[in-house]
Amino acid sequence: MDLLTLLLENKLEDSLPFPPALKASWLAEGVLQLLPQELPQEKKLDTLIISAGIHGNETAPVEIVLQLLSQLAQGSLPLRHNLLLIFGNLPAMRTGQRYIDNDLNRMFGGRQQNFPPGNETNRAIELESIIRQFFSEPAVMDSNKYRHLDLHTAIRGSCHEQFALLPYQTRGYAADFLQWLEDSDIDALVFHNSAGGTFSHFTSEYFNADSCTLEIGKALPFGQNDLTRFSNIATALQDLVAGSFSIRRNKRVFKRYRVVDAIIKQHDSFQLNIPEDTKNFTELPDGFDIASQQNQSWKILSPANFILFPNAQVAIGLRAGLLLAQLT
Ligand SMILES: [Zn+2]
């Protein structure tokens, strides 16, 4: 059976042997901790978390992480990190949905309390508890650096196909992490301006990890993804896992944006005045009325001319879009 079938049938844990150099522990369904047993002398290991499938219909990241897992299990990819691999929302993966009850990636940092109990609130509680347990492992506590890459694919088309969202941080962003993102040949970075309930914000805020949500393109159903379109990400992840830092950027343009404002839907009268298929990072003219609801409207004001994640269909209280300014 292939690894994806084993994962979806919850049989991966019993079927995947690892080489003796790796200590493998399954901490929950779809959560694998791998600790290298042959430690390099006088050098601390860094710690890395890679998660995929927090949204169940975002399949390409799951296939990429399974590929990494297969290489680690076969011993063809060396592991130079304490590693936690997470397949986020297995029930939603099985049904090909973004989520079963509510969006898991709005619930971290205790925000699951704001939602009625269900599949995702349980998983958010479980994942937070596992992350705490992982960070209390002696080998992990002893690390120099912590990184977390949460892999996603976007729903809509995008003027920048691959981009990273960096959580809001009061501390600075690590230069070597930003360099790795640039070298991975993604097209853009977006810096958040406020705290949020994403998985990457949680690991950044509570564990000082260099974290990001990595949007790697558009995904098709399982088995239909052309993984060559994501080969830069797969290569960059292998490079990170193996601790080699050997990748170099090939693409020219690398844009940076910051979030200036969030459009929050708070009323049934909410309207977004752009077509539903408007691409991420579309530039809008100064003065354009982009959204309105009872007693409130949003106008495009320079320099925040770019729209990200426009979606009028979100539930009341949730974000219907972000307005970005380009950094020069
Ligand atoms: Zn997603």
Give tens-digit pLDDT for 198-257. Answer: 999 999 999 999 999 999 998 788 888 888 889 999 999 999 999 887 899 998 889 999
What distance in Å separates the CA atoms of residue 279 and residue 321, rounded to the nearest whole number?
12
Stated length of the chain: 328
CATH class of the domain comprising 3-242: alpha beta
Shortest CA distance to 152 belongs to which of 195, 199, 110?
199
For residue 175, the Cα-to-chain-centroid distance in whole angstroms is 19
201 among annotated binding-site residues: no
Which one of 9, 63, 215, 283 is the catalytic residue? 215
Ligand 1: centre distance to CA 77 (Å): 27
Ligand 1: centre distance to CA 115 (Å): 18
pLDDT score recorded for residue 44 = 80
Quickly tell me which residue has 């994942």 as its tokens: 127
Ligand 1: centre distance to CA 198 (Å): 10
DSSP 162: S
What separation in angstroms does the CA of 169 have from each of 155, 174, 254, 258? 26, 11, 21, 13
Ligand 1: centre distance to CA 322 (Å): 15
Structural domain 261-327, CATH architecture: Beta Barrel (2.40)
| 120-133 per-position pLDDT tens digit | 999 999 999 999 99
Residues 328, 188, 306, 228: is their CA dihedral positive or negative?
Answer: positive
Residues with CB under 5 A from ligand 1 (ion): 55, 58, 152
Domain ranges of the chain: 3-242, 261-327
267 among annotated binding-site residues: no
Q: Is 9 annotated as catalytic? A: no
| 234-246 per-position pLDDT tens digit | 999 999 999 887 8
* Token pair listed for 232: 């830069």
